[in-house]
Amino acid sequence: MPSTPLLMGVVNVTPDSFSDGGRWLRPDAAIAHGRELLADGADILDIGGESTRPGATRPLVEEELGRVIPVITELAAGGATVSVDTMRAEVAQAAVSAGARIVNDVSGGLADPAMLDTVAATDATYVAMHWRAHADHMRDFAVYDGPGGVVAAVRDELAQRVEAMRAAGIPDDRIVLDPGLGFAKRPEHNWQLLADLGSLQALGLPLLVGASRKSFLGTLLAAGGHSRPVGEREHANTALTVLLAQQGVWGLRVHDVRAAHDAVRVLTRLEQEEQG
């Protein structure tokens, strides 16, 4: 298995993201942060203007455009491979026009019926995540009682989205899938998916995994009845980075790029030694 996943560095141009809400809201701050992530080893910068933390409300489309387009324009002009994290076709179109090469849609095309046709008309890679509902009520949909549990449900629902993408004209070589850790999933669902990524890889398409700083890690590391704070979950995510790299995932969406990059370098060096 290859052990060099692409590292997608997170740039939240939002006031309310769960991990760093407000720190990079100003365009100049977001641009500077993106450049720092590139220096730390990011292969892709994922620019998002809408928080998808549990319970979040949606910004107006004009707000989202105003947050992300200046940042995408500047970073793409500097040579960065930029992804736009959006569920809106209008934002995706504007972002690609501004230089984005990837559309990272956490809804997999379900939130905006124009998204798939919009992406198909571009050359952008499309990341489609498993999704059931918007952030303000997605917890109501974290039920996986059918045969095969959460793994079978996510696999089958992603397969349905793949058929919709193909029907819209998006070719397989521009499709990446994401199991959607934390989205309409309880902690045990996330662990079950991580333990059986092979069932999702059997769909024959690359996988992007975003576990960084998510609440299921905080729950695992809880002490005294309190979840481990967001900023203190990075060591756990670094362990996951190594394990997921060994499983051959296409990419990892991370906040601490340097930690992930260092972990992948160590693993790659050991594999080189083993191969002689």
- E strand or H helix at 247, and its extent? none
Give the C-alpha separation, 246 to 148, whole Å: 24
Q: Considering 174, 213, 214, 233, which one is annotated as catalytic?
A: 214
Which residue among 67, 88, 233, 253 is the active-site one?
A: 253
Instruction: Determine whether 214 is an active site residue.
Output: yes
The Cα 40–Cα 127 span in angstroms is 23
CA 193/CA 244 separation, integer angstroms: 12
Separation between Cα atoms, residue 91 and residue 143, nearest integer Å: 31
Helices 89-98, 61-77: axis angle to 10 degrees equals: 20
Please compute Rg for the chain using Cα positions: 18
Tell me, yes or no, if 185 is annotated catalytic.
Answer: no
Q: How many CA atoms lie within 13 A of 22 on its CB side?
A: 1
- Known catalytic residues? 214, 253
